[in-house]
Amino acid sequence: MAKLNQAETIAFSKIYSLGASRGDVTVTNDDIAGPINSSDEWIRQRTGIVTRMRASKDRSLMDMAVEASNEAIQKAGIKPSEIEAVIFSTITHPYQTPSAAALLAELVGANPAPAFDISAACAGYCYGIAQADSLVRSGTAKYVLVVGGEKLSDFVDPTDRSISFLLGDGAGAAIVGPSDSPGISKSVWGSDGSKWEAVGMTGSLLDFRDGKGSWPTLVQEGQSVFRWAVWEMVKVAKEALEVAGVKPEELSALVTHQANERIIDEMAKQLALPDSVVVAKDIITTGNTSAASIPLAMHALLAEGRIKSGDLALQIGFGAGLAYGAQVVVVP
């Protein structure tokens, strides 16, 4: 019987670099308060958001993804042709098929790398890192490009008070590759389909086609999502720390999905993080960017000098599905 060859496994992986691209239009609370009969003060109190960055009509999701990816590739010190897999986490690619990842691979020079999209909304980036970690350590791919990107402004209703006023646009990218020491902990991830309708769309594309509804936009059950995020996701965060073998005081940063400042503050409180741990709050100026929010927030902390390469950060994403994912990573 012939002997079957399998890929040689690798012990460890790490994030080599990050790239970021934000929307080019600053949208203030006053700009959006009128249609939802609200105010700058109310929005700040309920969400912590002061501005959100949105992309102009001529700036596409792919434009932002390419920009973020090119930065990550350059900082990683690798050639685009060395990328052996491309993962794009997004819910706002305007085509059902082909994938956004396949086009991104072509545009950044990674063709013919295998490429696929992930639809896990605000948990998408953590899902991507989990998959990249597995691809690298299994020997299936040496370097993996992971992108979380959204142009959520294409799917908002200016009169919606549940979620639309939170949302911004952007893309964050990471290069994952082999390491001599552990750089990405075991991921804690999952979903709760019993709450499938808690965050989603106002209707389907079939409804829109058949004249049964308007263009689908995002909507959420705010209170139930808030309670789930605050109480259930803290359990996931604690489990991620436990499986990583890391104590809260050993962290340098907590980088959650930038959903709402109140959720972020409550999670930090329940984790009993010391003052030495930086809590990312990119939401204040960027808004909620779904799959892009974690890499954008970590990129900002690095750019501001609030964390440094080699630090430990807990990242946790949670959102529509309801889906969630978390891991402790070494900051690139």
List residues with catalytic annotation.
122, 257, 288
Crossing angle of the two packed helices 293-303 and 124-137, in degrees rounded to 10: 80
Count of Cβ atoms closer than 10 Å to residue 58 Cβ: 7
Pairing status of strand 12-22 against strand 25-28: unpaired
What's at 125, amino acid-wise?
A: Y
In the β-sheet with 143-151, what is the strand arrangement from edge to edge? 12-22, 169-179, 143-151, 83-89, 115-118
CA 97, 22, 144, 255 torsion: positive or negative? Answer: negative
CA 16, 53, 282, 188 torsion: positive or negative? Answer: negative
Token reading at 147: 């992108």
Q: Measure the CA–CA gap between 316 and 328, rounded to whole angstroms.
A: 9
Long-range contacts of 77-81 (CB under 8 A, 24+ apart): 77/16, 78/16, 78/143, 78/175, 78/177, 79/109, 80/108, 80/109, 80/110, 81/109, 81/110
CA 168, 117, 112, 143 torsion: positive or negative? Answer: positive
